[in-house]
Amino acid sequence: MAPAGAEPTARTGRHVRVVANLSQSRALDAAVQVADAAWSAVCAAWGIAPTESPRPPTLHLLSTRESFDATLSRLNADAPRELLAFTHPPTHTAYLVIQPDASDAILRRIGLPRLTSILIAHETAHLVAAELVPRHADLPEWLAEGLATVAAEHVLPVMDGAVPHREPFFSTMMVRAQRLAKNGSLPAVHRLLLDDLRGIDRHGRYAVQWSFVRFLMQFEERRGWNAIARAARDAPEAASMQRSLADALAAAIAPKSPDDLDRAWRRSIDAMTPEWDEAVRSLHTARGGWIQSAFADAHAAAWRTQPAGRPPYSIVGRYEFHGLRFQSLNVLLDRRADGYLYVSFTQNHGASALRYHAADDRWERLGSQWSPHRERRDGRFRIDVEADRLRVELHGKQLLEIPIRDRTMDGPWGLGAKAGTTGAWRGVRLLRGRASGLFPLDLGNLHDAALVTAALESGRQPRVDDPLHERIADEVRRQAQHVRVVVPPGHHGRQLIVAQRRAHALDLVRRDRHADARPAEQDPEICRSIGDGLRRRIGRVGVVARFGILGAEVVDLVLLGCEERLDLLLGGESAMIGAERDFHIGISSRRRANAASIWSAHAR
C-alpha cells in the first residue's frame, strides 16, 4: 500500500482504466491485465466486438476497508455493509478493496491476491454491461451476476493458468451448487428465469447463477445463450426483459422443453469434479502449490472434497510464511459434524496439535513442542496418521506424538491459516500407507524408466513390457536397475545396434567418465579409434550414493528365463522421477473468529 496521503496511480489498458493507491507496480499491472482480459471475454459473450474507448470506464482499487466503506456510503448509502466490491453505472466506475488484507511486503511476494483478481473480472463484466447493453439496469440478477462470475472463470488462464475445479474459489462454487441439487433446493429453470431464489443464501445464489450461465454457454452449441444475449441487447423499452429472455430461450432450444433444459442443467452440475470446499477464504493455486491468506478477523480454512480414507496415511509438504512474526499455517484433519483436528505450524515457535469440539464450541490442546528451527520462515513437515496415534515431524525431526482413541481419522483433510496470516504451501500431498522413510516423496510422480514417454511421442513405447524381451539385447531400458536421480525420457534408438561410439576419451575432463552413447555397457560398435585415445582407466561404474529403495533389487549379472518371469513382480520399483504433466481451482464483522465457521459448509 502507498503511504497515507499518497496520490493514487492510474494505469490505462486497452479497455479499462485502473486507479489505485498502491506502491507496488506489479499488482497494478496485474489489475490492468485482468480487467482487459475480462472485458474481451464479456464482449465475446455478449456477441459484441470489443473496441477501444476514448474514455474507458474506471476501476478504483482501494487498499483499505475504511476507504471502501466511505466511498460506498457516498455513492450508495443503502448498499449492504458486507459488500467489498460494487459498480456504479451512472458514472461508469467500479470500486473494490484489495482482499484479503495485504501489506506492501505481501503484495511484493505474492502479487495481486487471487480473490482480488476474481473481483476485478467480476466488476469489469458489470462495466461492460453498463457501457454496451442499453437496458443493463433491467437485466435480471441471474444473468448479470451469473455472467460476471463466469467472466472471472474465463480469465483464470491469465492468473497462472488456474483450472476451475482445482481453484478453491470456483471449486467451492461447484460444491455449493451440488449441495443445493442434492438437498432439493436447486430452483427449476422457470423459477430461476424470474429471479425466484427464495430460501437460498447469498453464496448459494451466486453458485446457482454462475452454474446456469456456465451451462448455457456449453449447451447445444450455445444456441440458448446466444439467443438470450441477443434478446437482452435488443429488448424494446416497453417489453418485459424477463419475458423476452424466457421466450428467446424457449425458441432457441425447441423442440426441447424447459423441463429437458432443467434436467440437462442438473446433470451438468452432477458432473462437476470439485477438489476443494473453501469454508473460510482465501486459498488459491500458485505455481504448483497454494497461497493462503486469512482475513484479519477470521481464520482461513479450505477442505479437500474427498475423504482421506482409513489410516495409515501421511500428509507431507513444505510451508513458507510471508508475513510477520507469530503467524500460523495449519494442516486440518478429519472434518466431521462434531469437529476436527489440526496441526498448527507457528512462526518462531514450532508445532501444536489441537482438537475442536463443535458441540460446546471448545478447543482442546493435545500437544505442543518448540522446534530447534523455529527462527526459520519455512518448514518441511510430515504428519503420519495411524489408527491410534498422530506423529508430527518438522525438518526430519519428530516433534509430537499424540494418541488418538475416539476418532477414525478418515474424514477430509485441508489447509488453514490463522487470522492475518499469509503463507505458501508447496508440494503438499497425501500419501497412502505407512511411513517409508523417504521424505517427502511423491509416489504419484514415480515411474519405471521404460514407461516414460519419448521426446516426440504421446504414448507408451511399443513392446516395452515384453516380459522376456528378445534374444538379442537391443532394448534393455526396462531392466535397468541403477539409474541417475533424474533421467531424460527414452529417445529414438536403433534396432540391433546396441551402442554407438563413445565420447572422445581425450576430451574427458571431470565430466564424461564412461560416457556410453547407448544403454549397452561394454559392446560399442566397431569404428576407427584414432580420435578416441584411451577409452577407460581406473574407475568405478555404478551408483555412488542413493537415499532409499522402494522395491526389491535384482543383483544377478545375468537373468535366466525363469527369473525374467519373476521380475514381473518387481514392477513397483520406480527407476526415475516423472514429469508433472497436469498443472493445467464477505468477511464477518466479528473480531473473534469462531472455530465453527471453519468446519461449517458455508464459505465466508
Q: Say what the pLDDT of residue 603 is.
A: 35
Q: Residues 241, 244, 249, 250: what is their CA dihedral angle, to the nearest 10 degrees? A: 140
Would you state the pLDDT for residue 51? 79
Determine the Cα–Cα distance for residues 371 and 394; give it in Å rounded to an integer. Answer: 8
Are the beta carbons of 431 and 119 closer than 8 angstroms? no
Crossing angle for the helix pair 202-216 and 141-154, to the nearest 10 degrees: 70
Distance in Å from the first CA to the final CA of the chain: 24
Helices (H), ranges, 183-222: 189-193, 202-216
**Pairing mode, strands 313-321 and 397-403:** unpaired
pLDDT reported for residue 301 = 97
Smallest Cα–Cα separation from 460: which of 474, 477, 473?
Answer: 477
> Three cell numbers at 517?
552413447
Determine the pLDDT at residue 8.
83
Question: Can you name the residues that pair with 397 across neighbouring β-strands?
Answer: 394
The DSSP 8-state label assigned to residue 507 in this structure reads G
Per-residue cell: 556:
544377478
Q: Nine-digit cell at 214?
A: 456456465
Task: Give the pLDDT score at 542.
Answer: 52
Model confidence pLDDT, tens digit, residues 489-540: 444 444 444 444 444 444 444 444 445 444 444 444 455 544 444 444 444 4
The 10s digit of each residue's pLDDT in 419-440 is 999 999 999 999 998 755 444 4
H/E stretch holding 495: none
pLDDT score for 352: 96
- Alpha-carbon torsion angle 562, 568, 574, 575, nearest 10: 40
The residues of the chain scoring below 50 in pLDDT are 1-5, 437-514, 516-525, 529-541, 543-604
CA dihedral (58, 61, 64, 65) in degrees, to 10, reads 60
pLDDT of residue 161: 66
